[in-house]
Amino acid sequence: MDFEFWWLLSWPLFFALGWVAARIDIRHLLRESRSLPRTYLSGLNFLVNEQPDKAIDSFLEAVRIDPQTVELHFALGSLFRRRGEVDRSIRIHQSLVDRDDLNPEQRLQALEELGQDYLKAGLLDRAEAAYEQLRDTPLRDTAIPALLEIYQQEKNWNKAIEIAREMPDNDHRWEREIANFHCELAAADMAHSRYDEALRQTGEALRVNRRCVRAAMLEGDIRAALGDDKAALESWKRVEQMEPGFLSQVAERMMDAYRRANDAEGGIQLLRYYLERYPSLDLLESVFQWDMEHQGAHVAYALVRDELRRNPTVLGLDKLLEAAVFTAPADKRTDVELVKGLIHGHTRRVARYCCARCGFKARQFYWRCPACGEWESYPPRRTEEFDLTP
């Protein structure tokens, strides 16, 4: 291939064109930066230095100078919401939604920000309306989870079921949540004596999630309310195959059903079997109370003593001392009561259930954590069984 000398003449031309293009870009950038209010740059500086109050003042001044700056409005709205001034954030985002000069992407962003404002302010009906408008838009993946949270807060379980079925299941399957929504409906139907509908809802819950222990427990409660203790016991016994840890939650109900069937002895033997196979402080409590009432303090004392040898816990020790008060000699009873008072005061702090997701502790068992909103995040065991057991 022959070398063409005229190519050498083209190189200076290319350099000259590049130099001109660079000068044009630089002038354009300088023109844009000069057109920005000085307070805008000050606001950015305050944001970088984590001074949101001063940033808000600077952005407000920039918006006053140039009301058409849309991004400034978004920044201001977010800052107000983070600072808790939701009413001001709502006004800013509502003004953006009402503007006619926004492009479609900006309008959707403003509507989504407005939905966040309403949600944080607790205006669930307005938040729902905002997110419903985003349901069939490119922001659908943001709107659907927000709607699910709204319907759970409103306890609108039918709509929650509908939305949960639309949730993406790439890394999370929603059978557990949907089954619990059906259980919430069943509990409400049962409270209003709509037993047939309640049974239908528990059946739906088990169809969605065949290992939904809550549905089996509710089904037993409904059967018991209908007077069919045999069917109720069959439902409660299914808990052992689903999740034996929850047997402690149905122990008292099972014992009541056996009493109504005049087979209290068969009931206590079943609970003793569960306690032997699936140790639990709540199961121990149920058997202990039965022995104290029907067998006497000596039998209850022996029960707890044997259980403490297998599973040493402070809560178990508290029960042992409770029985020891009745079995101790008269001259030692005061000392035993003193020790029991000290131990009981300590157990009040550890006899709690703990959310496995966020660590929130509560004295009662919850199917949905009051703190983080996770379903079935509470193991059916007291915290001491995890933290203090040697």
Q: How far apart are CA 165 and CA 195, in angstroms?
A: 26
Q: What is the pLDDT of residues 174-208, one digit of tens each?
A: 899 999 999 999 999 999 999 999 999 999 999 99
Whether residue 372 is annotated as binding a ligand: the answer is yes
Closest to 355 measured CA to CA, from 341, 340, 374: 374
Whether residue 369 is annotated as binding a ligand: the answer is yes
| Element (DSSP H or E) covering residue 24 | helix 6-35
Q: Give the residue, 240 or 171, on which the prediction is more confident.
A: 240
Q: 164-190: string of b/e by CB count within 10 Å (b at 16+)? A: beebeeeeeebbbbbbbbbbbbbbebb
pTM for this predicted structure: 0.74
Q: Is the pLDDT of residue 281 over 90?
A: no
Q: Is the distance from CB of 343 to CB of 321 less than 8 angstroms?
A: yes
Using DSSP bridges, classify how beta strands 353-354 and 361-362 pair: parallel, antiparallel or unpaired.
antiparallel
User: What count of other Cβ atoms lies within 10 Å of the Cβ of residue 247?
Assistant: 26
Whether residue 183 is annotated as binding a ligand: the answer is no
- Percent of the residues in the chain that have a pLDDT greater than 70, as a whole number: 76
* Averaged pLDDT score across all residues of the chain: 79
Q: Give the DSSP per-residue string, 46-59.
A: HHHTT-HHHHHHHH
User: What count of other Cβ atoms lies within 10 Å of the Cβ of residue 149?
Assistant: 16
Q: Is the distance from CB of 258 to CB of 269 less than 8 angstroms?
A: no
At 328, the pLDDT band (50, 70, 90 cuts) reads: confident
Whether residue 354 is annotated as binding a ligand: the answer is no
Q: Write down all domains in the chain, each with its CATH number in brackets.
A: 23-156 (1.25.40.10), 174-238 (1.25.40.10), 243-326 (1.25.40)
319-345 average pLDDT score: 76
Q: Determine the pLDDT at residue 99.
A: 75
| Cα–Cα distances in angstroms (integers) from residue 315 to residues 50, 245, 325, 356, in the given order | 48, 18, 16, 21
Q: What is the pLDDT of residues 52-102, one digit of tens each?
A: 555 555 555 544 434 456 676 777 778 778 878 888 888 878 877 887 777
Q: Give the residue, 287 or 169, on which the prediction is more confident.
A: 287
Q: What is the pLDDT of residues 29-62, one digit of tens each?
A: 334 444 445 544 455 454 445 555 555 555 555 4
